[in-house]
Amino acid sequence: MTPVTRRWWLLASLGAPVLKGLVAPALKLRLEGEDLRLAAPHFKFLTGKPLERLQDGAAVAFLAQFSLAAGSNGVAMRRAVDRFVVSYDLWEEKFSITRTGQNRTDRRTVSHLTMAAAEAWCLSSLALDTAGLAADNPFWIRLELRAEDPRDQAAVVGEPGINLTRLIEVFSNPARAQQARWEAEVGPVRLAELPRVARSG
């Protein structure tokens, strides 16, 4: 994939002012059938205050949104959202993750992961449906992660799983001042130019 123009952002807030920096490549995209998936080896979120909390024995929840729009910072035409609860084993120095999902069948747990593998697993779990989208149209792809604010948990998490409407509402509002968050955006991207791989699973 060689779009004419690419812009990359990485925004991180670790209880400090938001930092902006150029990273390349930030997002690696592929199509599995009609699902758009990503990898982001330089997208590090198990850092700063969330990592400190994990190393102190607390579990930390992260909210994720993977979206597609017609322009940079535009209104999302398609989106995938999810919630991941991460914990850390001090003795083994490994991470465990539970993906909340929309219902019980979506719920998954993995364990004994290195930091890099834990970050990669969360991102690889996100899938964006591209059915019906024109393959030659330019799109902008955006990834957003936030450490969950306890004030949002009751609205976002229900008995069967996450409340998609409430989770989308969380991302429609600016992150709170001390809330750790990370963002990356790439475009223009044309679906016809992306590598296609066999559907996993």
Ranges of each domain in the chain: 10-193
Q: Look at residue 34 and tell me whether its pLDDT is greater than 80.
A: yes
Name the more confident of 64 and 163. 64
Q: Which residue do the tokens 């957003």 mark? A: 144
**Quick one: tokens of 107?**
């719920």
Q: What is the DSSP letter of 100?
A: -
Q: Round to the nearest angstrom and report the end-to-end CA distance of the chain.
A: 25
Mean pLDDT of 160-173: 70
* Residue 41 confidence (pLDDT): 84
Distance, in Å, from the CA atom of 78 to the CA atom of 1, rounded to the nearest integer, reads: 21
pTM over 0.95? The answer is: no
pLDDT mean across residues, the chain: 81
CB-based burial label for 146 (10 Å; 0-12, 13-18, 19+): buried
3-state secondary structure of 16: coil
